[in-house]
Amino acid sequence: MSTLSDLTGAPRSDVLPGYTLSKVDLGQIGEIEEELCIRHLTKAAKAADRLPPSAGEAVLRRADVAVASGIFSYATPIYDQRIQERTFFPFLLYTNLKVNHPMMTREGAEKIAADHKDLPSLRRAVLEQHGFSFRVFEVPKNDEAPTQSTGGASSSDSGSADSTGTQSAA
């Protein structure tokens, strides 16, 4: 994840016809942090409802402590991880589009995401607007396959490739 000063990329209109992806601003970051906290507390409340009262109260206290600790704040590992999750993407798209398209709704962004013909490219573009960088993950050809090593990890690369063949360097 880049620092906030690196998030000054230009708006993009090359990915989603008829729409312009905005550069990220502090307002978007605040909305995202708030949404992450709300989702965490909602999930804890649902879990607490299924538990005996004392256990449920403990779950809610831990959730409150987690939120108060700032783990969902910008540039924390949890923030970076959660905004990359597929289930969070429609909200991320919504916060990004509504800057240049004030009539955008959460439902509208969900529909755009559901109907987009190349969702991996759209996700990548939105995440790049948030400071993530991606590089192509190249698989070696059969004749270039690495030999087995008995001396530990075979790769020093700790990123993870997604279904688009890209790898997050976050």
Dump the DSSP string for 84-109.
TSGGGHHHHHHHHHTTT-TT--HHHH
Most confidently modeled of 123-127, 145-149, 154-158?
Answer: 123-127
Phi and psi angles of residue 128, each rounded to the nearest 5 degrees, phi first: -65, -35
- Alpha-carbon distance 40 to 63, whole Å? 7
Query: Residue type for 10, please?
Result: A
pTM exceeding the 0.75 threshold for the entire prediction = no
Domain count, the chain: 1
pLDDT, residue 90, reads 97
Q: What residue numbers bound the domain in which 108 lies?
A: 4-140+159-168
Tokens of residue 111, six digits = 């529909």
pLDDT at residue 52 in the model: 97
How far apart (Å, rounded) are the C-alpha atoms in residues 63 and 39?
A: 11
Read off the pLDDT band of 71 (50, 70, 90): very high
pLDDT digits (tens, 9 = 90+) for 95-105: 999 999 999 99
More confident: 124 or 155:
124
Assess if residue 149 is contained within a domain. no
Is 148 a domain residue? no
* Residues forming beta bridges with residue 136, ordered by sequence position: 166
Instruction: Identify whether 109 is part of a domain.
Output: yes
Which residue type sits at 81?
Answer: Q
pLDDT value at position 41? 98
Residues 104-140: pLDDT tens digits?
999 999 999 999 999 999 999 999 998 888 766 666 6
Look at residue 167 and tell me whether its pLDDT is greater than 80: no
Centre a 10 Å sphere on the Cβ of residue 108 and count the other Cβ atoms it contains: 16
- Whether 16 is covered by a domain: the verdict is yes
Say if 33 falls within a structural domain: yes
Residue type, 40: H
Tell whether 98 is covered by a domain: yes
Is 150 a domain residue? Answer: no
- Please name the residues in contact with 131: beta carbons below 8 A apart, sequence gap of 6 or more: 1, 2, 3, 6, 7, 24
* Residues sharing a CB contact under 8 Å with residue 124, sequence separation 6 or more, in sequence order: 134, 164, 166
In a domain, 117, yes or no: yes
6-65 pLDDT per residue, tens = 445 678 888 899 999 998 899 999 999 999 999 999 999 999 999 999 999 999 999 999
